[in-house]
Structure 1
Amino acid sequence: MTKDVLGLLIGMALAFAGWFGGFGAFLLVAALGAIGFAAGRFLEHGGDVRALLLSRERGGR
């Protein structure tokens, strides 16, 4: 799937959420989409969840 088609689908999902659910639903869909995008990008580029959690425990305080 190309990036322009993916952008179109995301825009349509946000539009439907805003139209039928109001502004709160629009924000919820946008936030969950951003979290899903970040998680997918992290895992796609060889991210290791255990390494992320361990680095937070060591230097996050």
Structure 2
Amino acid sequence: MSRATVGLLAGMALGFAAYFGGFWAFLLVAALGAVGLAVGRVLEGDLEVSDFVRSRDRR
């Protein structure tokens, strides 16, 4: 699936959430979409979890 198609589907999902569920449903769908995107990128190897977590020993 192309990135344009994924973007179209994400936009439609956000639009339906905003129309039928209101503003808070829109925010919930957007936040869960961002979490899903991050998890997908980590699983594909595009992101490293260590980039977001720093170690405790800061010497």
Query: Normalization by structure 2: what TM-score?
Result: 0.78
Amino acid at match of 2:25: A
- Residue-by-residue CA offset, 1:20-53 (whole Å, 9 max, x unaligned): 000000000000000010011011107787xx5x
Amino acid at match of 1:34: A
Give the aligned length. Answer: 56
In the alignment, the residues of structure 2 paired with residue 31 and residue 17 of structure 1 have an alpha-carbon distance, to the nearest angstrom, of: 12
In the alignment, the residues of structure 2 paired with residue 46 and residue 23 of structure 1 have an alpha-carbon distance, to the nearest angstrom, of: 31
Structure 1 consecutive aligned stretches of length 4 or more whose deviation exceeds 3 Å:
46-49
Taking only aligned residues, the RMSD between alpha carbons, in angstroms, comes to: 2.4
Match of 1:37 in 2: 37
The 5 Å alignment of 1:19-30 reads 19-30=19-30
Query: Normalization by structure 1: what TM-score?
Result: 0.76
Q: Which runs of 5+ in 1 are unaligned?
A: none
